[in-house]
Amino acid sequence: MTSRIPADSACLNLESRLRAILEQPFPRFSDAEIARRRVALGALMHKHEVDQLLVCGEQRAGTGVSWVTGWVTTTEQIVVVDPRERPKMFVEWVNHAPLAKQIAWDCDVEWSEHRSVDKVIAELKRRAARRIGIIGVFNFGKYRKLASSFPDIVDLNAEYGRLRLTKSAEELDWLRIGAAFCDASIGALREQLAPGLNERELGDIVERAYVPFGGTTFLHYFGVTAMADPDCFVPRQHPMNRIVRAGDCVFTEITGAFWDYGGQVLRTFAVGAEPTALYRDLFDTAEAAYDAVTRVMRPRCTMAEIVDATSVIEERGFTICDDLVHGFGGGYFPPILGTRSRPAGPLPDFVLAENMTMVVQPNVIDRARPAGVQVGELVRITATGCESLHRSPRGFFRVG
């Protein structure tokens, strides 16, 4: 069975091997990649003396399910993992089970019949389980029922996050497709963003850039405000029905995803006017912070080195609101860092390693007025430094 992607996909600027992934009816990683993940989970289980692992997802949250099975979480999925047996996934709703059986990699799939925990407990007892590990979302009622039968339960979410931070070559290719979706949305905004649109229509422009190629929306946040009288300093998670006007600043955070693999790109636009002096200073500081951080990012880089590199923000009299750096790619992962003036908690005891993927996203804001900008994108740690996974040009774009 073959499929095609639209002829105008040339706008994504994908290499032939990436286009071949898009051409698959349902994209699949290689058998070797699937085996690599399951071996890694087996090692994690062995480390914690866990003999059965539950990988859970609910209401479209829980990236572990797709990492193990290829099935992106819908209403509820629980996967029972044991390196000695074929994984088994319990799926709600009944109409989701046929496609899950088609997509899931080397995995038995069964409808949960609205009694998922009972079925999971029965399966664990069949496997003579003693000590259970959990990755993902598991609500209190279900947890309490599980714990009544298996009281020895270990939370492995933190270690799962660290496991996911370093990407394989195949995962990096999927992230490059997600990054291309995001870049296409920035290109569309540069062409179409103009006075008279409202914030909801900006989201429509973004989605039309990648949905035809199989992309899905993880998020698109917009901040829209008058540069002469600002009232917004960080992109809003929900759009207003506000009309874009000449003299506005529009700044955005976008993740269009290829299955669970999204890029993330952050850009700032001036609408129908040149940036004011304040906004030019904010933007120049954000770009300087991005450059300073990405210069120090390399294997063995400490979190203190990254925070030190952000000092240009405070030196110029500004601060931040949003997190400045976070792990990304198949989820929002640690380390999560701020700056000295807006820390994100104690610095993690953590160093970077090759093929970790991070978002660097300075959201530089004024201390006296509700004004801000945001720049940045998803990067990969290389053997000697870091590289962007995006091709979207950087700059304070004038549009409209």
What confidence tens digit (pLDDT) does each residue in 153-212 have? 999 999 999 899 999 999 999 999 999 999 999 999 999 999 999 999 999 999 999 999
CATH number for the 169-399 domain, one of 3.40.190.290, 3.40.50.300, 3.90.230.10, 1.20.58.60? 3.90.230.10
Q: At what angle do helices 169-192 and 16-23 cross, to 10 degrees?
A: 90
Residue 169, judged by CB atoms within 10 A of its CB (0-12, 13-18, 19+), counts as: exposed
Pinpoint the alpha helices (H) of 73-168. 97-103, 116-126, 140-149, 157-165
SS3 call for 283: helix
Neighbour count for residue 177 (Cβ, 10 Å): 27
Q: Name the residue ranges covered by the structural domains of the chain.
A: 31-155, 169-399
- DSSP state letters, 67-100: HHHSPPP-SEEEEEE-TTS--EEEEESGGGHHHH
Q: From the centroid of its chain, how far is CA 88?
A: 26
> Phi first, then psi: what are they for 42, rounded to 5°?
-60, -40
Any idea which architecture 31-155 has in CATH? Answer: 3-Layer(aba) Sandwich (3.40)
What residues are paired with 240 via a beta bridge? none
Among residues 74, 41, 40, 37, which one has the least CA distance to residue 57? Answer: 74
Cβ contact 276:227 at 8 Å? yes
Band the pLDDT of 1: cuts 50, 70, 90: very low
Widest distance between CA atoms in the chain: 69
Tell me the pTM.
0.94
Q: From the centroid of its chain, how far is CA 236?
A: 17
- 247 conformational bin, left if phi > 0, alpha if psi -120 to 50, beta if neither: left
What confidence tens digit (pLDDT) does each residue in 245-302 have? 999 999 999 999 999 999 999 999 999 999 999 999 999 999 999 999 999 999 999 9
